[in-house]
A and B are shown apart, each in its own frame.
Chain A
Amino acid sequence: MVVGIVSYGACIPRYRISSEDIARVWGQNPPLIGKQLGVFSKSVPSSDEDVVTLAVEAARTAMRRSPVAGDMVNAVYVGSESHPYAVKPTAGIVAEAIGATPNLTAADFEFACKAGTAAMQSCMGLVGSGMMDYGMAIGADTSQGAPGDALEYSASAGAAAILVGKKNLIATIEHTCSYTTDTPDFWRREGQIYPQHGGRFTGAPAYFKHILACGRDLMKAVSTGPGDYKYAIFHQPNGKFPLRVAEELGFKPEQVRPGLLAPEIGNTYSAAVPLGLAAVLDIAVPGDRIFVTAYGSGAGSDAFDITVVEAINSMDRTGPSAVRSMIERKVMIDYATYAKLRGKITMGGASR
């Protein structure tokens, strides 16, 4: 049973703050911080944007570019760690906004930064088993790092939606596999605004171990090597880790760079890999093979082996909905505006 990608869409907020501006506020070395992290600016959601609005915009673009009508979508799954409600699904609101209600199943997924790819796998299973025709998998986040914390330089916002099906495919997904453990590298307890992380513990035993194992499992399963892929997309908590893990797996920087958005928009968490995939699909040609490995703290990796097919040529991938256009259509803001937009300013009684 061939399962694949029918359509996709992305959403990146328009505002950006530079790493230099954040570093200046906290007395850090402004030019050095950006270079150390490989993140020079990050996207900032407006005060009226959240995971729901970003997910809806991404999903609407995916629907508009596909031949699929809203009521043909049988599942909407939204992966995020910043759902606006603790109880009340983002997925139901998205389903309503794309005209998919009421005859569908919907749920919110959570697995740190890989909830979006977990949603993709669920859609693949349901479509592949013949239980449904089309499923919408979305990764979306508006994540926050505590003021002054290292995470503040990277935690950003974005969304990407992948419409999974077995007809009208622009790309086939040949294989997917996962690698999951119980690792306390990063967490946020219920009711807390900002996450905690295990400092250096987030590198080798977490990000690198899981991506390396999962990525190698995938290539073993489909008998490929790094040279078989035109593009490689990795989770991107910063601009450095993806290039390092790629090198360890045997990929070259030019395979990674087209899907590496963290230097310009930061770490979009659950949206990071789906957005990287969207950026690559924007420029891919039929026959291109794409290697994808997501990572979520806690911890686990999901890997995908994707091949672009002929029909991608008839999809409109240019204009304002292209990931590149969204990255370039930016407005830089200062730390004061950022603090206001992100709710870091406490209003008087007026803000309730």
Chain B
Amino acid sequence: MSGLAGVRFWRETKSRYNLTGNRCGVCGTVFFPPRPVCTRCHRESIGRMEEHKLKGTGEVLTWTFVHEPRPGFEIQVPYILAMVRLDEGPALLAQMVDCGPGEVRIGTRVHSVFRKIGEEGKSGVIYYGYKFVPD
């Protein structure tokens, strides 16, 4: 197995493992994943984007059941994919785990957990990162 996908994932390890985004030093907007420039302040924010570790707490904006998984997720079907609004502002798409459909609603408070995201087959690299569980 070529390690190319592994290398790409590895570059994003810091944000995937520790929910590390960044924050505009001008207006304070927080971004995840980190952005090179602030979407509000544009050129003014150049050189003023600071690394910012997110707490991993937030609430569900919307969610859906996945019955047709992407490769590597077959054993987890059916699983829940949610759009989570983090308390610092950014929204992200992530898998919800350790819960059934009755436990997730719009507005449900959630926090991040460290889980396996996928793997390159049985002999390849294993990817880890954030998923969410209800509080």
Contacts and interface: CB of A to CB of B under 8 A. Distances in A.
Nearest to A50: B116
Contacts of A343: 75
Given A48-B131, A352-B121, A53 B116 contact: yes
A56 B113 CA distance: 9
B13 A96 contact: yes
A97 B75 contact: no
Interface string B31-75: 000000000000000000000000000000000000000011011
Q: Is the interface of B mostly helix, strand, loop or mixed?
A: mixed
A97 to B, nearest CB: 5
A350 interface: yes
A93 B116 CA distance: 12
Contacts of A97: 17-18, 114, 128
Interface in A88-138: 93, 96-97, 99
Nearest to B100: A331
A134 B72 CA distance: 38
B8 interface: no
Given A46-B98, A93-B128, A347 B74 contact: yes
B97 interface: yes
Contacts of B71: 350, 352
A147 interface: no
Contacts, number: 56
B98 A60 contact: no
A57 interface: yes
Nearest to A350: B74
Contacts of A99: 18
A14 interface: yes
B74 A46 contact: no
Contacts of B115: 46, 48-49, 53
Interface residues of B, number: 21
A97 B130 CA distance: 11
B27 interface: no
A340 interface: yes
Given A52-B128, A97-B18, A347-B75, A352 B113 contact: no
B74 A60 contact: no
Interface string A35-58: 000000000001111101100110
B79 to A, nearest CB: 9
B75 to A, nearest CB: 5
B75 A57 contact: no
B42 to A, nearest CB: 31
B126 interface: yes
A48 B72 CA distance: 11
Given A96-B13, A96-B17, A53 B128 contact: yes
A93 B115 CA distance: 12
Given A47-B76, A347-B74, A350-B71, A57 B18 contact: no
A331 B134 CA distance: 14
Given A47-B75, A48-B97, A347-B74, A84 B126 contact: yes
Contacts of A350: 71, 74
Contact of B114 (A46, A57, A351): A57
Interface string A46-74: 11111011001100100000000000000
A50 B117 CA distance: 11
A329 B76 CA distance: 21
A71 to B, nearest CB: 13
A119 to B, nearest CB: 20
Nearest to B122: A352
Nearest to B117: A48
A336 to B, nearest CB: 13
Interface string A330-352: 01000000001101010100111
Interface of B: 13, 17-18, 71-72, 74-76, 97-98, 113-117, 121-122, 126, 128, 131, 135
17 contacts: A14-B98, A46-B97, A48-B97, A49-B115, A50-B126, A52-B126, A53-B113, A53-B116, A60-B114, A96-B17, A97-B17, A97-B18, A97-B114, A320-B135, A347-B74, A350-B74, A351-B75
Given A48-B97, A347-B75, 14 more contacts: A46-B98, A46-B115, A47-B76, A47-B116, A48-B76, A48-B116, A48-B131, A49-B116, A50-B126, A52-B126, A57-B114, A96-B17, A352-B72, A352-B121
